[in-house]
Structure 1
Amino acid sequence: MKRSRHCLRAAVLLAGLTLASSAAAADIPPATELPDLAPIRAQIYAGEFTAAAAELQALSTTVQHADLYNLLGYSLRKLGRHDEAGRWYREALHFDPGHRPALAYQGELFIAIGDIEAAHRNLRYLNLLCTGPSCIERDELHAALTLAGHPPPQDKP
């Protein structure tokens, strides 16, 4: 009985995600070509979030792409600029509703601002999007929730 309820919940969540994605698909603007972000990624890996955010914000005036918006949200979140980070994660998910890194990082933002239910919701979406046994984004958000003292109800992600 418990397993069938879990399957039913998963099916309802998947149906809602599918409907939301297909309904939004007509509204999703086309992404522009993404320039090479390797130098900016290097700044992020080096912890140079201020420089990375400045370059990404400058690029965002001419480039529309979920990867760029996700990296901008990440850099701003690392700088503690949560409201701005949230805006860019939403923008990334507007361009690509199934963008796993944006869902994971937005989930980490939700943890940082205390919206644990929203973080759990993002983890549920990642559970649906990640089909294999290994999924970095799902695993990292699961670990972040657990570290924050709010593990998901089930034992495994």
Structure 2
Amino acid sequence: MIITMIRLVTLGTFAALLASPAYSAGGGGGGGGGGSDAYGSTYSTPPSATQPAYPKRSGTKAGQKAKKPNNQSSIGDPAFAAGYRVAYDTIYDRNDYTAAIAQLKSLGQDDHPNVANLIGYSYRKLGDYEQSQLWYERALKADPNHVLTWQYYGLWQLERGNREQALYHLGRIASICGTDCEEYRSLAAALDKPIGTALVY
């Protein structure tokens, strides 16, 4: 259920970003402002058939992410978005993390925080914590406000027994999106579990 919740949060974030006025007016993601996306491209049209709309998540407040569109980095190029979606589905629908890593790397955008975060997530699910850490840090270097990376990296910290670091990550999430966002609630719930409890995220 938690994996489904995380999946819905991620999809909802992209839907909110693609539908946000900042996106259609040329606003970018990644914690900055301005008239371009993470690639420096500007957009003047709203999402269309060439720009996939991701499903809205259920069970959360509508527009929760739309209020702060700069918390996540946007995906603007239709070919990139389509390739990312294939890799995303490979992770969350098929749990084929090795194939997803190859798909994500083939996009040629390893420094895009969404890509680096999912590569880190995939390595974590494969048990390769060293590679996972490198990719999470790469995502945060590209976008220090990438809230989903702070959440996933916080779970990484818990799995490694680094509770104090996970609490730090929780604090970073709170400073970015508050304590009511799904990323905060998910990591807080994991922190509330007794030490030694197996996490399923």
TM-score clears 0.5:
yes
The answer for the alignment partner of 1:141 in structure 2 is: 187
Q: Which has the higher helix share?
A: 1
CA RMSD between the two structures:
2.1
The answer for the alignment partner of 1:128 in structure 2 is: 175
Change (3 A) 1:130 1:77: same
**Kept after mapping to 2: 8 A contact 1:92/1:102:** yes
**Deviation, structure 1 residue 90:** 0.3
* Aligned match for 2:159, one of 89, 112, 129: 112
Counterpart CA distance in 1 for 2:152 and 2:183 is 8
Per the normalisation by structure 2, the TM-score is: 0.55
**Kept after mapping to 2: 8 A contact 1:49/1:79:** yes
The answer for the alignment partner of 2:131 in structure 1 is: 84
3-state DSSP class of the match of 1:80? coil
Could you tell me which runs of 5 or more consecutive residues in structure 1 were left unpaired when the two chains were aligned.
Answer: 1-24, 151-157
Per the normalisation by structure 1, the TM-score is: 0.69
**Deviation, structure 1 residue 134:** 2.6
**Kept after mapping to 2: 8 A contact 1:31/1:64:** no
* Pairing 1:101–2:155 present: no
Relative contact order, higher structure (CA 8 A, sep 6+): 2
Moved over 3 A (4+): 30-34
Could you tell me which runs of 5 or more consecutive residues in structure 2 were left unpaired when the two chains were aligned.
Answer: 1-31, 42-74, 197-201
The answer for the alignment partner of 1:9 in structure 2 is: none
**Kept after mapping to 2: 8 A contact 1:93/1:102:** yes
